[in-house]
A and B are shown apart, each in its own frame.
Chain A
């Protein structure tokens, strides 16, 4: 981008490109996110692959014009399926210059990134602001950004007396001109965005949009076309990962979500609170995290498998109940939208730090199913799978997602729900009294459970060590037997799983293993390295407990295996770090134990999603080291 366009007919002809990353940054409350989401939806409707992600300030109302208050949105659009936020942005629209500092500090821009900057600060009555603005513009240019200063707010004033609130749709108009968006599609999407606000608001926003469109046509000599991705067709929905979880809860036929507010998980419950009644469901806001899971477990015990949604600190508080669910074999779906830790950590930022806590966070041996969604679409479908696994294997299922999936927005094929996805009506038939409540199958450990209301099924569930009659175990064998049976269920589940599919060749120099939201970035980095001729492949795990089979056989076909994760691990070059003292990334720990192969890792906790370019550079470094060993 940034090429000088040849002018003709008063505005430039569109140049076809395959992809572009756009950001809109502002103070919070200026509507940048709504503009970006609408732009993403318009682009998705036109057949582009799209990924949008919000830029979230840490406070609700940070002071205006402060770098840390940067709020906004990034939109990556392409002529192919997009799986992640990408690397540096190509174009940024900024409502003030200060917020750009934050994005630059985050490495969001590169030499040649075009910045369309609101210029009203240049003539601000406050001298200090004028000085800040002039200094910033000079610094940005020195940094290599191509800055266009534009009177955006002044142009909005011609349409609305409150440009602070209307500027976003004006900017949307600008972007739609710059990226040759279809006007009818754009206008229809604006109508949809404001459909609940009434005709007057829709009309005002459409006029602002039209003005922005015209403004860009006159004032900005950049115009691109990004053709639709091949094979685009069928119906698509556009959601973020938390909305996808909400849809999954409904599609799974679960009737209860019991939650306590925690960032970044809560928006899943917000969404459900709006629509859950349409499928007969209820969101319970509990008095605390512990009560939230206890309430869900109560409903599950009574035959209505429920879901509780939380994040790391909430997971920590829920562990005692989670262990009870394991011990007493109560189905439950626990969604953990991971954020940065430890402690309060980085509440709004991404991390994959709760894998080991999910597997091993409870006292004693508490085997349970742990799965991780790798895409927004999987957030939806994995909730449906989680309920089925929970009921079939009479166990809690932890579904891990993260802040990257929670805040990313993407189009994906609209699911076609069917009755089979829904929880069946609760069984109230008579229970054969000769069958104990834990009639463990000797081989698989599986048993079916009596549900209150089943005549003859009366038993007392307990978290104490118990016999298959659910009687408190006073003998030494029962505890051993119970642990054995609960563990065996995981082996039984593992037996139904397929080996994971390797992305790239089945053998080579380096295999990268990932899990969760890093899928898209890892595969993009792998594709880039493979295009350079490197023998690298990747593999992405969805099942973490039990793990998918055949890992060792796959790993042995590569000279080196490493994980790439968003959690902390020691840099092997750091002081005091030796092969003995090094603490590995979480999946690497598990894989080393599982396969007895010397699995290496690279991981980081900067609080932002891993980007393809970053992973690509890591790959090259590790490949070079491999070469050096030859």
Chain B
């Protein structure tokens, strides 16, 4: 089986400032090929399949509903699955068998990674709750429950209603945990507790025109099945976001904008600052010893700037640092690098613009560790 290092589908690109080598997916069936949102690993554990978000905006454009493609390292080929248009931020890959789950309108679908695999309708959000409304999405970022029997539900209808719950994978009825008029987005299942979700109340997104980032508010909540959401932090803080579960299920990481990447213990509510600075999205390996983050001066016109940090040594190294794409180039909305560890932390996967287009890239973690000893 090929690897990103040996596959014909990838080309090496070396950062002249740091010497870090990335492997860019230069086989391109689509004009835009990007990484998933940072909370959703896109590679299988065995390294055979890597899923990619593809889109086809007109040349020079940026708007298109994306579809999914898979890189198959056994066959050394890339295949686009046009039937997989997805809404929300990100689909979900089963790291064991390579199946992918996505949502479209009220439906949750899945399909396998092989060429002959067919889509299967997994479940449907109930029409009586949709009430004839077209959802913005029924899940923003899909995540499995710890017992792997459900995915999270995080439906958004216009600017009026947000419904959180879970969608059983056996097709049994959707379970609503709560419904509110607050902008509850980016919900994620705990990796160890099937009755617990991290709920994000996107205060600034509901009032973007009047929002003051110095305002202190609770963005993160723990939502236990059958209970009311409770704030995660002991005290409200200034603007924050881009949170993710630690693999231990006992901590949640988040970016305190302009301050640091932090980790909070969900029992003691104790917070630790792990990476001070102006960071945007970040991600940790399973040990919590290594971090990767992107940074951008303007999220609406972002740089492609990704850095790796060895928490133990405090050393950092730059993976890529490219200014925003020129406005006339074909691109996509929400063009953030979204770096994440994948394939059991073997690689960091991110979206790169070093070739004046939107590409997916991988970088071997061990090389980054070596450079930050």
The answer to whether A binds B is no
Which residues does B use to contact A, with CB under 8 Å? none
